[in-house]
Amino acid sequence: MFIDNFKVEEWFNEYEPKAKYNLADICIDSMSINELIDISGIDLSVLKELYSKKLGYGDIQGSKRLKEAILSMYSSQTLENITVTHGAIGANELVYKALVEKGDEVISILPAYQQHYSIPESLGANVKKLFLKPENNWLPDINELKSLITSKTKLISMTNPNNPTGSVITDDLMKEIISVSNGTYILVDEVYRGIVSDEKYNTTSIVDLYKNGIATSSLSKAFSLAGLRVGWVVASKDVIGSINHHREYNTISVSVLDDYFASVAIENKERIFERNIRKRKEGLEVLKEWLKTEPHISCIIPNGATSAFIHYDLEMSSYELCKKLLKDTGILFLPGETLEMDKFLRMGYCNSPEKLKIILNLFSDWIKNNS
Ligand SMILES: Cc1ncc(COP(=O)(O)O)c(C=O)c1O
């Protein structure tokens, strides 16, 4: 089966080990087991239950404890509407494999994680790409979306809050999308849901708004626990049935240890989200101050998620810029071309604000010498 090169992952494989200052990474200061235990307020002796756990496959479709924890993040779902996967990357792949066939049309809202267009393309679907635009605050244009929908449209996909731009489709706009969708499946990659600047950007999951909605998510972004390879899909019972049919071939189960720590994390989501929203806010302040001082860079301020998609006016492609910058300074960004948009760079800003300030000033010095 042919599938296009996964440009973002290729970039990380090749250049992340060479970075001294990594702004390509968009996780929020990943947590250690110690910090997870600490923030959850668990007595360390509880971990003894972990030591005696048999390292078999565990519960094949995820433990009841984990599924109940996941369920707590949705308002109108049951255990039958959930399946546990290997990260959101496993969740997204399973959705496309279960639902998309040769000749189907899929509308993918870009920029997006490449799975959302290259997997349906590899399955023989006709993928129509709707590009978000900065002049529309990186939000989808409803008329443009409407013009792409035909009787063959099987699925519309988007990421909300969006990676890389940080834009947030609020419930009102999502309801407009649903109203023009013609009853097609709407897949929303919700790995950043809840990590937003303000209460007004908190969104309801697509599955609690729309009966043909499908939500994928994981612990990697909003929970700062990418090392626990746990994700999930929430959808109607029928869709979950088709996904589980495919899941038998590529998952069996997630690790018993991951299942345990994932349950602990989700049961303590309020405290983890509080930590992450605070860290995001501190980083965003630094970014906003720097943007005021840097004439060669412009950016629509992100309302959610963990990355900013910054535009530059230098005479070089995003691949050229990122490679030269890395060589000269050790700073790593993600080139916009890996997300199909040249003249942009994706940057994370949710780690150390002190370090971020230093790195951005270093970047400004480099820009002065290269513009
Ligand atoms: C939008 C989006 N979806 C899915 C993934 C994959 O996440 P996971 O680590 O849960 O597999 C990523 C990772 O960067 C992502 O940004």
Q: Give the model confidence (pLDDT) of 127-141 as tens digits.
A: 999 999 999 999 999
Query: Does residue 38 form part of some domain?
Result: no
Residue 26 and residue 67 in one domain:
no
CA distance linking residue 300 with residue 308, whole number of Å: 8
Q: Is 157 in the pocket of ligand 1 (CB under 6 A)?
A: no
CA distance linking residue 94 with residue 246, whole number of Å: 7
pLDDT at 322: 98
Residue 166 and residue 299 in one domain:
no
Residue 68: half-sphere exposure toward Cβ, Cα within 13 Å: 6
Atom number in ligand 1 closest to CA 231? 10
Residue 262 and residue 299 in one domain:
no
Q: Residue 178, SS3?
A: helix
| Those residues with Cβ within 8 angstroms of residue 7's Cβ, 6 or more apart along the chain or in another chain | 114, 337, 338, 339
Residue 264 and residue 319 in one domain:
no
Query: Does residue 50 form part of some domain?
Result: no
Residue 236 and residue 343 in one domain:
no
For residue 150, pLDDT beyond 90: yes
CATH at 206: 3.40.640.10
Q: Is 95 in the pocket of ligand 1 (CB under 6 A)?
A: no
Q: Which of 82, 42, 111, 22 is nearest to 218 (CA)?
A: 82
Chain CA centroid to CA 28, Å: 12
Average pLDDT of the segment spanning 272-298: 98
pLDDT at 195: 98
Residue 243 and residue 115 in one domain:
yes
| Those residues with Cβ within 8 angstroms of residue 210's Cβ, 6 or more apart along the chain or in another chain | 178, 181, 186
Residue 76 and residue 146 in one domain:
yes
pLDDT at 45: 79
Chain CA centroid to CA 216, Å: 9
Average pLDDT of the segment spanning 203-212: 98
pLDDT at 46: 76
State the distance from the centre of ligand 1 to the C-alpha of 189, rounded, in angstroms. 8
Per-residue pLDDT tens over the stretch 5-23: 999 999 999 999 999 999 9
- Mean pLDDT of all residues in the chain? 97
Confidence of residue 296 (pLDDT cuts 50, 70, 90): very high
To the nearest whole percent, how much of the chain has pLDDT over 90?
96
pLDDT at 143: 98
| Residue at which a domain ends, from 242, 269, 296 | 269
Q: If you take atom 14 of ligand 1, which residue's CA is the nearest one? A: 113
List strand residue ranges (DSSP E) for 117-174, in order: 126-131, 153-159
Query: Does residue 236 form part of some domain?
Result: yes
pLDDT at 237: 98
CATH at 16: 3.90.1150.10
Number of domains in the chain: 2
Q: Is 87 in the pocket of ligand 1 (CB under 6 A)?
A: yes
Beta pairing partners, 298: 311
State the distance from the centre of ligand 1 to the C-alpha of 239, rounded, in angstroms. 21
Atom number in ligand 1 closest to CA 92? 4
Per-residue pLDDT tens over the stretch 20-68: 999 999 999 999 999 999 999 988 777 788 888 899 999 999 999 999 9
pLDDT at 50: 86
Query: Does residue 1 form part of some domain?
Result: no
Q: Is 132 in the pocket of ligand 1 (CB under 6 A)?
A: no
Per-residue pLDDT tens over the stretch 219-232: 999 999 999 999 99
Residue to probe by mutation, ligand 1, list 113, 224, 225, 230, most atoms within 8 Å of CB: 113
Range of the domain at 362: 7-32+271-370
Q: Which of 318, 363, 314 is nearest to 344 (CA)?
A: 318
pTM to 2 decimals?
0.98
Q: Which of 266, 203, 196, 207 is nearest to 231 (CA)?
A: 266
Query: Does residue 147 form part of some domain?
Result: yes
pLDDT at 48: 84
Residue 159 and residue 305 in one domain:
no
